[in-house]
Structure 1
Amino acid sequence: MPAIAEELLLLLLDNASAQPALDPSRRRRVLAGAVLLDLAYQWRLRPAAPGEPVPEGRLIALVGPDDGDPTSGWAWQRLARKPRTAKSAVAKLQRDVETRLLDQLEYAGLLRRTPLYTKRFRRDYAWLLTDRNRAARVRSQLLRVLITGTEPAPATAAVITLLHTVGGLDELLSFDDRARRWVWQRAAEIASGSWVAADSDLAEVNLAVVAATVRAALR
């Protein structure tokens, strides 16, 4: 199962500057949202339903199989203590989520960290993709869905939903004015959850429901 947060960060790093796209505030929020969607797709996070002894819509961490993803496991541990609103969950994760994901991708051999020597007290790094194949595949899937109207896979729908919500698609994908209007409309349609089919499994439905909750927290 593809990790939504990993694929989103690889896409953000797929540029000549070797620096992640989007300003730091939006980037951390959208990456925190992506980790929440990873948990939702793994069926380890769901919103409270009417009639439960928890306010409706609060996100509940569920006990389930750990897929071994370090960042998802860390996030689950932080959210398991009590049900939270999506806004509170994003706030809980956003401070450290980018660093954890960068370390995870570096450990997996997908990134190479290169120090940048500046006059600032804090050392900065360039993050070089060691292999662009996965990032290129994610970009290609996004373009195919947004331009040709192909139905998205769940992870692709999640990435589009997150980027559309924070206004990040224009910064990652270049379109002329006519194409931009079409892409915006298509992205809004996907973000609304229209990609979920009548025969979708419960994990996909849960992903779409949690995505709607997370969207409201990211605006």
Structure 2
Amino acid sequence: MAQIAEDLFLLLLDNASAQPALDGARRGHVLAAASLLDLALDCRVRPAVDGERAPAGRLVALDTEGPVDPVAAPALAMLQSRPLRPGTAIKKLGRHTEERLIAHLEQTGQIRRTVESTRRFGKTVSYPLTGRGRVGPARQALTSALFEGASPAPATAAVITVLHAVDGLGALLSLNDRGWRWVHARAGEIAGGSWVDESPSALPEVNLAVTAATVRQALAQLT
């Protein structure tokens, strides 16, 4: 399951309009980055290091057996073709990742598509959640990590990391200046990988943190 990308998109839909928050360009970028981080958590991609055939910092595909989630499969296939700079991968994937997420979440019954016609705006498409069994815990995990100092699970840390990189946490939170100062400081700690030191970590979590470091730098440059 593409937990990071799916959780992120569901959180962006969790509002009164049932339309994804965050402007289209940043949304495309963070969803693409999230699909890459899903692969990293599954130990299927990582950044190359000095001494490898691919230039250091490029994302490379790893030879890992097992089924691949359909949302992340195009990202893996692209990197299997050739290593790419994180920014290049994000821009390429950003064109269609949201479409794949919508189709998958509809197919699995987590959202439904609603089309309304109005004289002023033409057709308006929204995607109401069919339940809060998933987005509720995801939102609680995010707020606990940001406001209560809880050690975030890998997926929560990844969601915070990509949103922080594009200054996109405002799509999920409404705070005063003092609250934002707190959130930006805490989100920066998490984006920097502090969550790995806060809890017992295995190889998938370490690989996610290492990959997230390169991905968030690319996101910041694309913003």
Q: Same fold (TM over 0.5)?
A: yes
SS at match of 1:117: strand
Structure 2 partner of 1:95: 95
Structure 1 partner of 2:59: 59
**Kindly tell me: are residues 113 and 134 of structure 1, through their superposed partners in 2, closer, same or farther at Cα, counting changes over 3 Å?**
same
Gaps of 5+ in 2: none
Q: Write the deviation string for residues 29-49 of structure 1: whole angstroms up to 9, x where unpaired.
A: 000000000000000101111
Structure 1 partner of 2:29: 29
Matched, 1:47 2:47: yes
Rounded Cα–Cα distance in structure 2 between residues aligned with 1:94 and 1:73: 14
Aligned-pair CA distance for 1:123:
5.1
TM-score w.r.t. length of structure 2: 0.92
Residue identity matched to 1:74: P
Rounded Cα–Cα distance in structure 2 between residues aligned with 1:33 and 1:159: 10
Residue identity matched to 2:213: A
Task: Map 1:146-165 to 2 at 5 A.
Answer: 146-165=146-165
Structure 2 partner of 1:84: 84
* Alignment check: 8 A CA contact 1:66 1:73 kept: no
Worse overlay, 68-77 or 115-124: 115-124
Residue identity matched to 2:115: P
Residue identity matched to 1:211: A
Aligned-pair CA distance for 1:74:
2.2
SS at match of 2:96: helix
Aligned-pair CA distance for 1:118:
4.8
Rounded Cα–Cα distance in structure 2 between residues aligned with 1:163 and 1:125: 24
Gaps of 5+ in 1: none
Q: Write the deviation string for residues 67-111 of structure 1: whole angstroms up to 9, x where unpaired.
A: 442111122112210000000110110000000001000000000
Structure 2 partner of 1:70: 70
Moved over 6 A (4+): 119-122
Aligned-pair CA distance for 1:176:
2.4
Aligned-pair CA distance for 1:133:
2.1
Matched, 1:207 2:211: no
Residue identity matched to 2:151: E
Q: Write the deviation string for residues 175-207 of structure 1: whole angstroms up to 9, x where unpaired.
A: 222222111100011001111128521111110
SS at match of 1:161: helix
Residue identity matched to 2:218: A
Q: Write the deviation string for residues 20-67 of structure 1: whole angstroms up to 9, x where unpaired.
A: 000000000000000000000000101111111110011001121344
Task: Map 1:117-156 to 2 at 5 A.
Answer: 117-118=117-118, 124-156=124-156
**Kindly tell me: are residues 121 and 199 of structure 1, through their superposed partners in 2, closer, same or farther at Cα, counting changes over 3 Å?**
closer
Rounded Cα–Cα distance in structure 1 between residues aligned with 2:107 and 2:63: 27
**Kindly tell me: are residues 116 and 65 of structure 1, through their superposed partners in 2, closer, same or farther at Cα, counting changes over 3 Å?**
farther
Residue identity matched to 1:93: L
Residue identity matched to 2:206: V
Q: Would you say how many aligned residue pairs link Structure 1 and Structure 2?
A: 219
Residue identity matched to 1:136: G
Aligned-pair CA distance for 1:137:
0.9
Structure 1 partner of 2:191: 191
Rounded Cα–Cα distance in structure 2 between residues aligned with 1:44 and 1:120: 47
Rounded Cα–Cα distance in structure 1 between residues aligned with 2:68 and 2:122: 32
**Kindly tell me: are residues 174 and 96 of structure 1, through their superposed partners in 2, closer, same or farther at Cα, counting changes over 3 Å?**
same
**Kindly tell me: are residues 56 and 68 of structure 1, through their superposed partners in 2, closer, same or farther at Cα, counting changes over 3 Å?**
closer
* Alignment check: 8 A CA contact 1:14 1:132 kept: no
Residue identity matched to 1:35: S
Worse overlay, 29-38 or 72-81: 72-81
Residue identity matched to 1:12: L
